[in-house]
Chains A and B, each alone.
Chain A
Amino acid sequence: MLKIDQLVSGYGTVQILNGANMKVDDQSIVALLGGNGTGKSTILKATSGLIRAWKGSIEFDGEQIHNLPPHEIVGRGLVQVTQGKDVFPAMSVIENLRLGGFILKTKKQLNDNLEKVFNYFPRLNERKDQLAATLSGGELQMLCIGRGLMSNPKMIMLDEPSAALAPQIVLDIFKNINRIRKDGLTVLIVEQNVRMALLLADYGYVIKDGVINVEGDSKKLMYDESVKESYLGGTKANVQ
């Protein structure tokens, strides 16, 4: 579904990615792991078009997308879900969701998708007329994921859905991500919570210094020595 080939990118003149390669298969959950400042979010931003790819290519659904503006990439069904703090705080929950379905043409599609999102996250239905600023951290994350689902995407990319949330809520959100995949979407998940992400995902990539360092089945990665050392709290401390 998504194929990133020798991607080089960065901010301004600072190069972050030094030729990353990734592949995400249809209807799978792929985890992208790495420490702070290794380029996880940069890959997401380059894929969703917020920053340009300097070199290399990004292919989605058989089409090159690295030269498209962000709104056209969303139109092709690839949506990035940002961290929970990136909602529109002065708008109500339902307005936030309607914005997620901005590219939909008809009102019927919008209402169908709203129903779908409320089905995943009943909590949002209870709070639909509240200002988004009044939601709790977990509800904000649900709102962000819900907003991403509103545009009928084929694939969503989640940027640290577990950041700063209580374990119980993380579990709940991860269960819903699994449901979303079962309903036919492809998921790329960027995480710092490595254990949880690998439990959920089918395949994992570990990024270091802007290149993919280790990759493999998530079961295999769980027991990989280098991953263990770096992220799973092995005997050595984080050796970067």
Chain B
Amino acid sequence: MFNKLRIGKKGENIIFSVFVLIYIAWCVNSPDMNIESLKSVLTIGLSVGIIYGLVALGISLIYTGLDVVNFSHGEFFMIGAFAGLTMFNVLGDQDWIFNVFPDAYGWIIYVVCLFTAFVSMGLFGVFIERVFLRPLTKKGGGYTVAGMGIIICGFGLSVVLINVAYLIWNPVAKPFPAELGLPMEIGGLFLPITYIWMIIVGLGVAAGLWFFLNKTKMGLGIRAVAFSKDVSNLVGINVPLYISIIFGIACAIAGIGGTLVGPTYQVVVFMGYIILMKAFAAAVVGGFGNLPGAILGGFTVGLFETASSFYISGSHKDLYAFLLMIVVLMIKPTGFFGTQVKMKA
């Protein structure tokens, strides 16, 4: 999972660099290009990118752990946002928090919301995995017929979750008015402070996951299960339990992503779908199944999308992520970080 950077075939890299240079030249030529707009592109691009990265992280984690692509992951993101919002509304009515912490009032509530989203989505993910996916994974996941079943089940689950959320929270877009202080001025634009908050928390979550996977015993077990279930069984790891944990962690991270996005945009029932697609693009760009690659891919997609909509055309914002994905797939099919450690035959 956490491997070294793969230096791909020379040709791949050269062609890719040429594309990057052409793109940069195009952006620089744009009439809107100046240091001020560049600052806002960087802020927005990185903050949106880390959200794509977090969801892509979950997709990659599930892909390595269960050998399937989870097409309902966007819905966990959406429900996570609603979980955070619900907690926010509950805490918003509590006057005592305001009385005890008059200064850091908004921050404390927001951190509790993030935590709620993390924990509740983790538990919800474990529940979904145990109840709905376990009967399918029992018959064999991955590239078997049952594995195909899980993918289709993911689409179905996505529809079901959207409709359940529709029934509970109705389709009206809801504001998430977290009080995190005044907007800051970056490059002539007044941006909510949540943009910076998104980058910090997102990177913190990614770093926490890295620490968890590389420095703890449970993380070691997760990496083992992700590589081979049979061998993990033979060293005494409770594989079904660990698969649940992997799914739960992936969903918890998506839930945090939802709550992070909430205050900047709005919370809608349909927000999961487009995020899923962008995160999918991010995962492909970074190298499918590779975790640092997922975060890096998220940043790349976020920056590319924001820069393109600033400097090229703002009316096709959602197109750019997929354009980038297609270009990367054509030139570097393994993404930035491919698998490089192969076993000798």
How many residues does chain A have at the interface if contact means C-beta atoms less than 8 Å apart? 30
Cβ contact within 8 Å between B237 and A102? yes
Q: Does A181 touch B at the CB level, under 8 Å?
A: no
Cross-interface CB contact of B228 among A86, A133, A147, cutoff 8 Å: A86
Q: Within the complex, what minimum Cβ distance (angstroms) separates A10 from chain B?
A: 15
Cβ contact within 8 Å between B1 and A98? no
CB-nearest residue of chain A relative to B224? A99
Q: Does A69 touch B at the CB level, under 8 Å?
A: yes
Q: Does A100 touch B at the CB level, under 8 Å?
A: yes
Q: Does A16 touch B at the CB level, under 8 Å?
A: no
Cβ contact within 8 Å between A70 and B3? no
Most B CB atoms within 10 A — which of A90, A91, A103?
A: A90
Cβ contact within 8 Å between B234 and A90? no
Q: How far is the CA of A151 from the CA of B1 in the complex (A)?
A: 25
Cβ contact within 8 Å between B236 and A71? yes
Q: Does B9 touch A at the CB level, under 8 Å?
A: no
Cβ contacts under 8 Å, A87 to chain B: 231
Q: Within the complex, what minimum Cβ distance (angstroms) separates B190 from chain A?
A: 46
Q: Does A74 touch B at the CB level, under 8 Å?
A: yes
How many residues does chain B have at the interface if contact means C-beta atoms less than 8 Å apart? 25
Q: Does B35 touch A at the CB level, under 8 Å?
A: no
Cβ contact within 8 Å between A69 and B231? no
Cross-interface CB contact of A98 among B2, B220, B236, B344, cutoff 8 Å: B220
Q: How far is the CA of A116 from the CA of B141 in the complex (A)?
A: 38
Cβ contact within 8 Å between A50 and B341? no
Cβ contact within 8 Å between A99 and B235? yes
Given A90-B3, A91-B223, A133-B343 contact (CB < 8 Å)? yes
The 8 A CB mask of A72-86 against B (1 = contact, 0 = none) is 001100011110011
Given A50-B230, A88-B224, A102-B341 contact (CB < 8 Å)? no
Q: Name 30 A/B residue pairs within 8 A (Cβ), A-sorted.
A: A48-B233, A48-B234, A50-B230, A50-B233, A50-B234, A70-B233, A70-B236, A70-B239, A71-B236, A74-B235, A75-B236, A79-B234, A82-B234, A87-B231, A88-B224, A88-B228, A90-B227, A91-B223, A91-B224, A99-B220, A99-B221, A99-B237, A102-B220, A102-B224, A102-B235, A102-B236, A102-B237, A133-B343, A137-B344, A147-B235
